[in-house]
A = this chain, B = another copy of it.
Amino acid sequence: MTTTPARPRAAGRPGATSHAAIEQAAFGLFAERGFAGTTLDDIAAAVGVGRRTLFRYYRSKNDIPWGQFDRTLDDFRRILGSTAPDLPLWEAVHHGVVRFNEFPGDARPGHRERMELILGTPELQAHSALRYAEWRAVIAEHVADRLAVSPTDLLPTTVGHVSLALALAAYDAWMRDPSRSLAGLVDEAMRGLRAHLAC
């Protein structure tokens, strides 16, 4: 009889904050005092919430700059899944990576600020390895699917690692030259690699 709501239904005490509110407060403080110079107490105070509560929204301090990356990975899966199946595999994957890194003009500054923080802070560089592993797995699964092999085989994991390599090289360059487009840099990195390997 109940209309079986899609969402599990909202019962119990309402949340005191949101991911968006936390990230906004946190990024403000990071910009002011640096990542290491900002304590979780600072952030909690700025959000107006208990320190303990922060851990209910993010697993760790290091996770805050990444936001809800899980969702982003779902998008990535969808992008790869919608590439033309008759495109050569390497082009499909490359295309997916390029599209994944295309941001609408107004989302740019935010994304850049986020990546500057992540790529410029050693603790975060290290932590990011864990996020990258999830990203690589998405690629490996797509490659394994198209080749009908296991995602843990050498080729799918290799393509995952190499795709990440190109993306990170592009980000490195983007940090040095903000005027370039990220997608263009990923493209250029791929062209450079193919020339390097004498394709």
Contacts and interface: CB of A to CB of B under 8 A. Distances in A.
A140 B107 CA distance: 32
Interface string A124-159: 011111100100000000000000000010110111
Interface residues of A, number: 39
A7 interface: no
A163 to B, nearest CB: 8
A197 B197 contact: yes
A169 B154 contact: yes
Nearest to A89: B196
Contact of A173 (B90, B157, B197): B157
A185 B127 CA distance: 27
Interface string A78-93: 0000000000111000
A169 B157 contact: yes
Given A157-B169, A157-B173, A161-B165, 11 more contacts: A125-B130, A126-B126, A128-B129, A154-B192, A158-B166, A158-B169, A158-B193, A159-B193, A161-B164, A164-B165, A194-B197
